[in-house]
Amino acid sequence: QQQVKQSPQSLIVQKGGISIINCAYENTAFDYFPWYQQFPGKGPALLIAIRPDVSEKKEGRFTISFNKSAKQFSLHIMDSQPGDSATYFCAASRDYGGATNKLIFGTGTLLAVQP
Amino acid sequence: DAMVIQNPRYQVTQFGKPVTLSCSQTLNHNVMYWYQQKSSQAPKLLFHYYDKDFNNEADTPDNFQSRRPNTSFCFLDIRSPGLGDAAMYLCATKQGRGNGYTFGSGTRLTVV
């Protein structure tokens, strides 16, 4: 119940295209769903996050779509750029569920944007 | 800038020789986490401190210990590193509930 499943494992997109990464969770108690971007040799950096009371959140070229009934959420990167090439992790936590607030990560997607 | 700082960035240690990794934060966050990330894998939570309360994950080996002497600092001690402990170790902080996690840049540990 603590798992977050992420797909695809890797993704190649042409410059200017749309990158789409999908995640699914099981624990309905999760109430915070962030996406992290990680470059080689760096720690994960928060990209965008959503809570289950909204179905979509957009920040610049990055959009999270959230489907509470299906227990799925996805990251869309519009107008993908070579600088977006990185590993992307979805995650989930019970942000208001108690003291532990553990962040459960998906397995990661390696995105390569070709020029 | 407020941030999470991990030292050193790269650490090489000998098989079985104790090693300590450090994390400091200027964010004054009350929760601090240690994650282990092996190559091409997701970060895996080892343990965390909620204020002074230590919370160990059930599958974290006894070989891994942690200390948090004050709000700003947290240490990861590996008592007898094995080859399988080679990984990136990530420190993260969070303030209570309703806020995001801030990660440090990590310490890459090599065991020789």
pLDDT (tens digit, 9 = 90+) per residue, B21-33?
999 999 999 999 9
Do A33 and A92 touch, CB atoms closer than 8 A? yes
User: Helix, strand or coil for residue B85?
Assistant: helix
pLDDT of residue B95: 85
Is the Cβ of B55 closer than 8 Å to some Cβ of chain A? Answer: yes
Instruction: With CB atoms and an 8 Å threshold, state whether B97 touches A95.
Output: yes
Do B42 and A108 touch, CB atoms closer than 8 A? yes
**Residue ranges with strand state E in chain A:** 4-7, 10-14, 19-25, 33-38, 45-50, 56-59, 62-67, 72-77, 86-92, 104-105, 109-114
- Helices and strands of chain B, counted as H and E runs: 0, 11
Nearest to A108 among B33, B42, B108 (CB): B42
pLDDT in tens, B31-86: 999 999 998 889 999 999 988 999 999 999 999 999 999 999 999 999 999 999 99
Do A25 and A3 touch, CB atoms closer than 8 A? yes
| Cβ within 8 Å of residue B42, ≥6 positions away | A89, A105, A106, A107, A108
pLDDT of residue A95: 72
Instruction: With CB atoms and an 8 Å threshold, state whether B106 touches A43.
Output: yes
pLDDT of residue B9: 93
Distance in angstroms (rounded) separating the CA atoms of residues B16 and A32: 39
Burial class (CB in 10 A: 0-12, 13-18, 19+), A7: middle
Do A96 and A53 touch, CB atoms closer than 8 A? no
pLDDT in tens, A3-26: 899 999 999 999 999 999 999 999
Is the pLDDT at A100 greater than 70, yes or no?
A: no
pLDDT of residue A1: 60
Instruction: With CB atoms and an 8 Å threshold, state whether A99 touches B90.
Output: no
Mean of the pLDDT values across residues B78-101?
A: 90
pLDDT in tens, A70-98: 999 999 999 999 999 999 999 998 876 55
Residue that the structure tokens 């590993």 belong to: A87
Average pLDDT, whole number, for chain B? 93
Nearest to A100 among B4, B55, B108 (CB): B55
Is the Cβ of A108 closer than 8 Å to some Cβ of chain B? Answer: yes
What residues in B contact A34, CB-CB < 8 Å?
Answer: 100-101
What residues in A contact B97, CB-CB < 8 Å?
Answer: 95-96, 101
Instruction: With CB atoms and an 8 Å threshold, state whether A99 touches B53.
Output: yes
pLDDT of residue A97: 56
Burial class (CB in 10 A: 0-12, 13-18, 19+), A20: middle
Distance in angstroms (rounded) separating the CA atoms of residues B67 and B73: 8
pLDDT of residue B37: 94
Do B37 and B90 touch, CB atoms closer than 8 A? yes
What residues in A contact B90, CB-CB < 8 Å?
Answer: 43-44
Question: What percentage of chain B has pLDDT greater than the value 70?
Answer: 96
What residues in B contact A96, CB-CB < 8 Å?
Answer: 97-98
Chain CA centroid to CA B99, Å: 20
Is the Cβ of B7 closer than 8 Å to some Cβ of chain A? Answer: no
Is the Cβ of B31 closer than 8 Å to some Cβ of chain A? Answer: yes
